Structure 1
Amino acid sequence: MHIKVDHNEVFGFIRPFQDIHSLGMSTVGRLLEDCGFTVHQGDGEIAEAISRIAKAENISLLLNWINKNRITRLGFSYRLDPQDARVNFGRVFHLLKDYKAFSNQGGLLKQVYFAGLPEACNAIKNEYNQEIPVFYGDETQLETLLKIGIPEHKIPKEIYQGSKYDDDLMAFAEQFIASGQHHFFNPPKRETYPNFGTLKDTLAERVRYNKEAKNLPLTRVHVGPYNPKYNEAKKEFNSWLKNLSESGFLDIVSVGSSQLSQSNFGEEWGDKPNGGGVPINSEKDLRDIWEASRPMLVRTYAGTKNIPELAKIYEKNINIAWHALSLWWFNQIDGRGPYPVKKNLEQHFETLKVIAASGKPFEPNIPHHFSFRGGDDYSYVLSSYLAAIAAKKLGVKYMVLQVMLNTPKSTWGVQDLAKAKTLIKLLRELEDKNFKVFLQPRAGLDYFSPDLEKAKIQLAKVSAMMDDIEPDNVTSPDLIHVVSYCEAVKLATPPFINESIQITLSAIAEYRKQKKSGLVDDMKQNKEVIERTDDLYRTVKSIVGILEKNILDLYTPEGFYQVFKKGVMPVPYLWEGREEFKNAIKWDTRLVDGSVKVVDEKGKPVEPVKRVENLFKN
């Protein structure tokens, strides 16, 4: 195999249904389209078929999809258990051979690719005598395209470009990790107060006391063992919580609950697949988690069914630190929940009322989900801004602004800074005595290398960038969602979590020292960041004005549904609901100077305000 790609070839990407991680396939698909190739992403039906490929009707469905779309290059992605990945890929590959789907057998397929965790990639390489190109996840855009077999003359020149800011951050991070100084970083001495660690404790109080002490940011980490056995998983998780609590590095534990916990809480699970994550199926499970985590604050995923009711249960049993909702997401169109988009919005707006009554913060877990599906930078900012306005109108008093950097991972740092600065500027304008915003940056979901030393450097790099979002504010960010550096390879256990926090906080402390000494550039006056921030700010404000003028009752479930249905926020790589949201998928997006923009048929950026205005002229 390893046949060079011809100009007229067609790519297809598939995954088993149980692996919800589709970001990598969407990213590679976008790269290939930028090179001029046609790309097809397997939908939910194909994913279901891949999961049960041994059934005759399922291999027939896959073969029909390949033949109908004239696919010559097939990518298979599975980023969960390496052994499951090897078995799943093997079944698909050998059935394709049995049904003579390859070009040397008279079929269409010239090449199959595999993407997964390093252990799975190594197993596939060895098992198939290096015939299958494998992708570990840390390849650059250029490395990815060359490994696929794309001729160099087909690769856009932008792929070869970079950013001085990113190079400078990388140099800082490499030097920092090489020094090993993070190993000597001790747990921050957090201020205690009467409600600290009790059922009356709140994020607002903890942030306030931490700021008054001029301490480094609070840390939040997503935590949860992967164990399909219900009781064993609960026991292991509670042991982890006690370990993390005693070590003193982590302030807020974010429970990595399973998909069944989110969709079928309190029901009989039977033999339904848990989907990975902590199994939580009773109020006692929640109370046990709270007890084991003292004195950390606790939060968990929102439900995907009966969402307001589950929010109340979280309030009662874990004094949830804040609630995160995705509004347009975690439903049928991304395979994360049972509801159609409109009903999901209705449930989330009802849940916002529950949040308002509780006095707890709301986190819009939204903008990066548009980015995962090819959304542009304007949509990234707009989606979170709309959510904030709606939440404030419903009486929500606090907002946790999560800003996922490195999304897509080819984004330049100056563009990341501009998006973050625009969002915090827009939301700070909403602040008053009844509405307060907490900034919470984080690294990207698929940012880290499976090479653990390289991943440590990446974590230090993105941590330094976080300090450039509000460089004049010594108490910003308020908190950080620390992504453990090992997550491209293995589950983040307490030792990895603690070291990741050490890297994050000590990198910020060192970066501040070096800025003060003039050893690294001060980004406050960076012309590129200032101009891009101004553009994003003015554009998003103009788009909101257009929406408020043209959509009756904009800040309602129906209003938000119309925003999506009209195509205001493009999602060219949406997998499900493509007919319902045909106006959102019809736009092409492309990386332009390190930012994602909507482009026309010639690849030229489309003026965003005019694009949205035109949506309402028909």
Structure 2
Amino acid sequence: MRGKIIACSIGNCVHVAGVVNFLRLAEEMGYESVFLGPAVSIEKLIEKVKKERPKFVGVSYRLTPSALYPLLEELKKGIEREGFKDIKWLFGGTEPTAEVARKANIFYKVFDIEGMDKVINFLKGKAELELKKSYGRNLIERIEGKYPYPVLRHHFGLPSLEETIRGIEEIAESEVLDIISLAPDQNAQQYFFRQEKMDNKLDGAGGVPVRSEKDFINIYKAAQRGNYPLIRCYSGTSDLLKMAELIQKTLKNAWCAVPLCWYNELDGRGDRKLLDSIRENQKVMKWHGERNIPVEVNESHHWSLRDAHDTLGVVMAFLAAYNAKKAGVKTYIAQYMFNVPPAISPKMDLAKMLAKIELIESLEDDNFKTLRQARAGLAKFSPDLNLAKGQLAASAGLAMAIKPHIYHVVGYCEAHHAATPKEVIESCKIVRGVIEGYISGYPNITSDEEVISRKNWLIKEAKYTLEFIKENFKEYKDPWSSPEVIAKCIKLGILDAPHLKGNPAACGKLETRIVNGRLEAYDMETGKVLSEEERLDKIWNYAEKVSA
């Protein structure tokens, strides 16, 4: 045991929820905890301390600040009388009562609006000076320092470089965010190394107009304050290896985010051909794997955003992780985007994520570890900002059921406008409130019978599709990681999405419908949901006819 902590609310204060949560966290960190209850008199508290001789004593008061003064005077006299020199006293309360507590010169640590992560760090034994040095200079250290509280990431990039730098400084000073996800504008993503091709009228579209190595360095310097947030940056949509080298050199990129099948002619975010882009994306994974840099393959949700059915989302989640492992990635970040499509029901959404988790984490071994990253889908958010705040909180509450290591906060204002520093900070605080409530003890909704049933069905269907690919492309050594096979599957419609209709690199014939809160493959002629066996048989029979 790390020692004993006793705690209570004092005087006439009966509010003990914070005390109970603090003691529960202390127990998880290896302390013995003793709860003395609400409205404990100073005399009784002193007697209990004499008897228990704890390492820490926590007192809480959340009523009128002026009434706290005499209580703390009495407590101070009791401490001096009994000579509790080896005991550290802690205080928790509202911001006004905490200010009174600080002036009393009794307490080793005063908690008021502190985030749960700081409480956890304190219980882990990190003093204030140590904390400034040990926020974690890489993603793994950052996660290990906070879990079960997930590290927070937020997208940020304004149309002005100067405003972006000032904004990063403000966000870092707020200490609410662990990873700033830098968003370069589309010009930079596509033409950073070929700037003569840029259309300058589009500068700042979609993010910050970074145009030089110095710009990246100045952005990194801006984050070296507050809680020293890590920086990660989009991989770009062309010249991916050159961009990887640049952002690793300048930003110490927290992790690589690269697709398997996108940023090319499929989505119009680049001019690469599909097959070429798959090969290049795999090389980017390999480059980062060789340097032990975590990799996120942001693949599955790109299909779901284009209305591919839930089963295909699960298939692509597995294939993305499989390709990362084959490329030598050691730490894999699996992104679980909830609310895609917006009409999916929360239960069916959770089931889809649990199916992805089970298949992805089946790949784990001594050389391949996975981290869970959850986020809300932007399409779910309303342009009504107050309504969007509620939607952000609701999505975060559902996502906490998968116990993420990283929570990617989507600014509540993003359906209306790009987030300012103030809105980034506000969105993070909304999510922090949800997380702290969840960590205090929520029912386990992953055990819901409907969720489990749907999860199992999706796993069965996804495995059928994966085996179908392996069985019908036997001439390839490893069909699941073959760029040629993946590109052929997209062209044939084995991997397909309704929004790809008319795209020359894809099939685009898949029809899907929301049925009972699930997004299903759908046969328009019969008006029925298609199983993967039925859907793939139709595709393969048609392909054989065409080739005959």
Q: Same fold (TM over 0.5)?
A: yes
* Residue 239, structure 1, aligned to residue 239, structure 2: no
Give 1:568 shift. Answer: 1.5
Q: What residue number does 2:506 align with?
A: 581
Question: 1:438-469 CA distances to partner (integer Å, 9 max, x unpaired)?
Answer: 11110112111122221111111111101222
Contact 1:202 1:321 in 2 (8 A): yes
Residue 511 of structure 1: CA displacement?
Answer: 3.4
The answer to whether the Cα contact below 8 Å between 2:392 and 2:412 also exists between their aligned partners in 1 is: yes
Which residue type is aligned with residue 489 of structure 2?
V
CA distance in 1, matches of 2:261, 2:360: 20
Q: How does 1:446-525 map to 2 (within 5 A)?
A: 446-469=379-402, 476-513=403-440, 515=442, 522-525=444-447
Alignment partner of 2:499: what SS? coil
Query: Per-residue displacement from partner, 1:347-405 (whole Å, max 9, x unpaired)?
Result: 10111111111211111211121122220001111112101111101110111111111
Q: Is the counterpart of residue 361 in structure 1 residue 294 in structure 2?
A: yes
1:146-185 equivalence runs, <5 A: 184=113
- Residue in structure 1 matched with residue 498 of structure 2 by the alignment: 572
The alpha-carbon distance between structure 1 residues 314 and 380, as it changes in their structure 2 partners (threshold 3 A), is: same
Q: Counterparts of 1:305-454 in structure 2 under 5 Å?
A: 305-454=238-387
Letter paired with 1:548:
K
What code does the residue aligned with 1:570 have?
Answer: D
Does 2:452 match 1:530? yes
Of 202, 213, 220, 1:283 maps to: 213
- Does residue 561 in structure 1 map to residue 487 in structure 2? yes
Larger RCO: 1 or 2 (CA < 8 Å, sep 6+): 1
Q: Please give the alpha-carbon distance, in whole angstroms, between the structure 2 residues aligned to 1:439 and 1:208.
A: 13
- 5 Å-filtered alignment, 1:600-611, equals 600=523, 601-611=525-535
Decide whether the 8 Å contact of 2:301 with 2:337 is kept in 1.
yes
Q: Conserved in 1, the CA contact under 8 Å of 2:464 and 2:532? A: no
In structure 1, runs of 5+ residues without a counterpart are: 1-182, 228-232, 470-475, 516-520
**Deviations 1:78-127 (CA, angstroms, capped at 9, x unpaired):** xxxxxxxxxxxxxxxxxxxxxxxxxxxxxxxxxxxxxxxxxxxxxxxxxx
Residue 184 of structure 1, CA deviation: 5.0
Identity %: 34
AA aligned to 1:499 is E
AA partner of residue 484 (structure 1): G
Looking at structure 2, the residues matched to 576 and 195 of structure 1 have their Cα atoms a distance apart, in angstroms, of 54
Q: Radius of gyration: which is bigger?
A: 2
Aligned counterpart, 2:144: 208
Say if 1:185 and 1:506, in contact at 8 Å, map to a contact too: no
Aligned residues: 411
Q: Is the 8 A contact 2:265 2:505 kept in 1?
A: no
Query: How big is the shift at 1:603?
Result: 2.1
State the shift of 1:535 in Å.
0.6
Q: Runs of 5+ in structure 2 lacking a partner?
A: 1-111
Rate the CA distance shift 1:396–1:194 in 2: closer, same or farther, 3 A. farther
Cα distance in 2 for partners of 1:433, 1:209 equals 22
Is the 8 Å Cα contact of residues 334 and 575 (structure 1) preserved in structure 2?
Answer: no
Partner of 2:229: 296
**TM alignment of 1:103-122, pairs within 5 A:** none
Partner of 1:84: none
> Helix, strand or coil: the match of 1:468?
helix
Q: Tell me which amino acid in the other structure corresponds to 1:322.
A: W
The separation in 2 between residues aligned to 1:603 and 1:300, in whole angstroms, is 44
1:271 aligns with 2:194: no
Q: Distance in 1 between matches of 2:282 and 2:212?
A: 25
Amino acid at match of 2:494: V
Pick from 594, 597, 601 the counterpart of residue 520 of structure 2.
597
Distance 2:144 2:199 in 1: 45
Contact 1:422 1:533 in 2 (8 A): yes
Moved more, 567-576 or 522-531: 567-576
Of 568-577 and 380-389, more deviation after overlay is shown by: 568-577
Aligned counterparts of 1:254 and 1:452: Cα–Cα separation in 2 = 22
Query: 1:588-609 CA deviation, whole Å, 9 max, x = no partner?
Result: 1111111111111222011113
1:518 alignment partner in structure 2 = none
Matched letter for residue 144 of structure 2: R
Partners of 2:307 and 2:360 lie apart in 1 by 24
The verdict on how the C-alpha distance between 1:613 and 1:389 changes in structure 2, with shifts beyond 3 A counting, is: farther
Give the alignment's Cα RMSD to 1 decimal: 2.1
Quote how far apart the aligned CAs of 1:425 are.
1.2
Alpha-carbon shift at residue 569 of structure 1 (Å): 2.2
TM-score normalised by length of structure 1: 0.63
Q: What TM-score comes out, normalization by structure 2 length? A: 0.71
Alpha-carbon offset, residue 329 of structure 1: 1.4
Residue 587 of structure 1, CA deviation: 2.0
Determine if contact 2:300/2:314 at 8 Å carries over to the other structure: yes
Would the aligned equivalents of 1:414 and 1:529 in 2 still touch at CA under 8 Å?
yes
Q: Secondary structure at the match of 1:531?
A: helix
How far apart in 2 are the matches of 1:574 and 1:306? 24
Task: State the shift of 1:522 in Å.
Answer: 3.7
CA contact (8 A) 1:356 1:396 kept: yes
Aligned amino acid, residue 545 of structure 1: E
Distance 2:114 2:416 in 1: 24
